[in-house]
Homo-oligomer: A and B are copies of this chain.
Amino acid sequence: MNFQPLFGKQEFLHGADYNPEQWLDYPEVLEQDIAMMKQANCNIMSVGIFSWAMLEPQEGVFNFAWLDDVINNLYKNGIHVFLATPSGARPAWLSHKYPEVLRTSQDRVHQLHGGRHNHCLSSPIYREKVKIINSELAKRYANHPAVLGWHISNEYSGSCHCPLCQENFRKYLKNKYKTLDNLNKAYWSVFWSHTYQDWDQIESPSTIGENAVHALNLDWKRFATYMAMDFCKSEIDAVKPYNDKLKFTTNFMEFFYDYDYFEFAKVIDFVSWDSYPRWHFDKDELPTASYTAMNHDLMRSYKNGQPFVLMESTPSCTNWRDLSKLKKPMMHRLSSLQAVAHGADSIQYFQWRKSRGSSEKFHGAVVDHVGHINTRVGHDVVDLGKTLSKLGEIVGSSTKAEVAIVFDTQNRWAIDDSQGPRNAGIDYLQIVHEQYKAFWNRGISVDIIDESCDLNKYKLVVAPATYMIRGDFAKNVESFVQNGGTYVSTYWSGIVNETDLCFLGGFPGPLKNVLGIWDEETECLADFEEVDIKFDINNILNIKGSFKGRMLCALIHANEANILAHYESDFFANRPCVTCNNFGKGQAYYIATRMDDAFNEVFYSKLTEQLGIKGAIDTTLPKGVTCIARYNNDNKYVFVMNFNKTEQNLQLDSNYINLETQETLSDIVHLEPYASLVLKKA
């Protein structure tokens, strides 16, 4: 449960991306920066992220002097750095001399120079040039005492469709399927006469070519993950020899679609991510709060609970959305402590100082164009720095989750790509979030895992819409329930295998046994349609009343399973809608339609009650207030967060110490709007 602090010290990191190369003409700026960093209790800066053109202004000509100064200067003032490899953006000379490093889009258009994160990851020249600059950086700085770790590249994303990448894709497939016959069968390519007769006929999916062979589409996405990981490894290989004690990360993104991060996380030492919640965009903050909480939980789960680094966030607003809302008073603190509550041991910003020009100049930063931090935002950052400095003992602690929710990226790809009962608006992420909210609302810690993860450490596993069953997941579910676990499944589960081949013999395929049902067909409801669901008297969870279902309705037969609720409308009225199968020592629930929030609240409340799963504080939480616990070997820390713009009262279940004030709290705690407290169980 207790992790070693990532970087050896029992203190939180606080800092930002720092791009002083933009200000070399303004020497006073560099000086003021250091002073303000100290004022804000900053101890970490990420440097070099987009510095390639400054570090290697011409091919093979290097200029490290400015970076020497920056790093030395920071270190002299007690500030460490994450050192970035600069592969996120090429210098213009590289694209100009070697246009093959530019990406080819899916419609086979060779891109021009510009933007960032748009290189061909197969390109031998690109790999070579990255290796050279990375080695030079490592040679110079890998043993500098200022350097805490490597920030490999930046926000890897996308893929390239050039001939070299096509070749690599074919190699990847050959390695996976061995024979064309295996591939053809796995792809069911005989449909529409799409059988491949030669490996060379395989091309990546394209709007101007093949795009309806779902297994091909899926394999292309898996290959994209593989290529990005492979590239990242090659970057690491270039720098590791210079100091093999430095840890590696690359910054991940919000519920990222392009790659399977559970795979990707295997090549890095610690997880870091860039979090930009849409605070204040909606009527209230609750959907954003639980959605962001879930994303933090996912980040923590990539490395089995090891604390992560919040590599980027904004102290005020973004600038790349249609609208950019400022953080209202108290929100910066709340949002940052929320990250900590779910496992962050660092709060960092993009970026330290707003750029004067180019596309992100209006992205919120610590230092605004005015040039000082005697601003509303500056004060928020200074205040947070003070707070973090008082919480150091929490560093290295983690979460005790008895509940896991499955959010599987490969399943997400498959659901979106599938042409089934609903091609618009299934939104798997939202379905998962709907389950998560019910736990968040009662302060119950949750791990977010995927189908490849170990289930056995949990009491309850919730796995909605597992359309694709891959690897040993079905087997693992069976043995998990057999041994006493509780499993919750839903409609649109157990439909296809890893290459999108439907399970024969009745859905939910390999989950049929453990769930004890047969899903005969799936009705799709239009957006304006709902069905009524009614719980039977004396159902095993003792749930009462009626609920609404929408979007998809599995029309099932409860074979071995017990029925808890029935549909009450449409032509399938009286067919079972919620079932529970006793299987070995455990139980497996099936929910046949997309239920409303009211259902999720009562269902998971009754279920966790029955299973003895409790929230961080054993109390009734006011709506919009949640409590999340972190534990180390000695202590339990509870983060109390009020996401309401109104005041709230919270009844404590015991005595706690407010870590900032050292005040002891008991009984009722009064919470200001957007208040956040960090308590230690007394």
Contacts and interface: CB of A to CB of B under 8 A. Distances in A.
Contact of A369 (B281, B421, B503): B503
A114 B188 contact: no
A391 interface: no
Contact of A89 (B192, B323, B499): B192
Q: Which of A187, A521, A555 has the most CB of B within 10 A?
A: A521
A560 B319 CA distance: 30
A643 to B, nearest CB: 16
Given A190-B22, A359-B191, A370 B212 contact: no
Nearest to A93: B197
Q: How many copies does the complex hold?
A: 3
B193 A358 contact: no
Interface stretch (A134-142, A202-210, A304-312): A202-210
Most chain B CB within a 10 A radius of its CB, from A114, A371, A502, A523: A114
A214 B111 CA distance: 19
A523 B376 CA distance: 13
Interface string A303-329: 000000000000011011111111011
Q: Is the interface of A mostly helix, strand, loop or mixed?
A: loop
A198 to B, nearest CB: 7
A113 B502 CA distance: 25
Interface stretch (A46-54, A120-128, A241-249, A646-654): A46-54
Contacts of A215: 357-358
Given A108-B112, A193-B52, A521 B368 contact: yes
Nearest to A204: B112
A31 interface: no
A235 interface: no
A272 interface: no
Given A208-B105, A324-B421, A499-B357, A96 B200 contact: yes
Given A93-B197, A376-B520, A54 B420 contact: no
A341 B504 CA distance: 37
A540 interface: no
Contact of A57 (B197, B203, B422): B197
Contacts of A464: none
Interface in A159-210: 185-198, 200-201, 203, 206, 208-210
A2 B358 CA distance: 47
A414 to B, nearest CB: 12
A421 B198 contact: no
A58 interface: yes
Interface residues of A, number: 112
A328 to B, nearest CB: 5
Contacts of A100: none
A191 B50 contact: yes
A228 B341 CA distance: 60
A67 interface: no
A502 B320 CA distance: 17
Contacts of A92: 194-198, 201
Nearest to A553: B326
A208 B112 contact: yes
A483 interface: no
Nearest to A359: B212
A193 B51 contact: yes
A664 interface: no
Contacts of A377: 521
A504 B369 contact: yes
A114 B369 contact: no
A213 interface: yes
A524 B362 contact: no
Contacts of A108: 112
A325 B552 CA distance: 10
A89 B194 contact: yes
Nearest to A213: B358
* Residue from A93, A105, A186 whose CB has the most chain B CB atoms within 10 Å: A93
Nearest to A109: B208
A506 interface: yes
Interface centre among A51, A320, A357 (most CB of B within 10 A): A357
Interface in A91-108: 91-93, 95-96, 105, 107-108
Interface string A253-293: 00000000000000000000000000001000000000000
B422 A188 contact: no
B326 A201 contact: no
Nearest to A518: B370
Contact of A370 (B370, B423, B505): B505
Contacts of A505: 369-371
Contacts of A112: 108, 203, 206, 208-210
14 contacts: A52-B193, A114-B194, A114-B206, A188-B361, A189-B358, A212-B359, A214-B358, A214-B359, A215-B357, A322-B425, A354-B502, A361-B500, A369-B506, A370-B518
Give me the 5 closest cross-chain CB pairs, A-B, nearest first: A188-B357, A112-B209, A114-B210, A212-B359, A191-B358
Given A323-B423, A369-B505, 13 more contacts: A51-B193, A54-B193, A107-B109, A113-B209, A114-B206, A114-B209, A191-B360, A192-B359, A319-B419, A319-B423, A360-B419, A369-B503, A369-B507
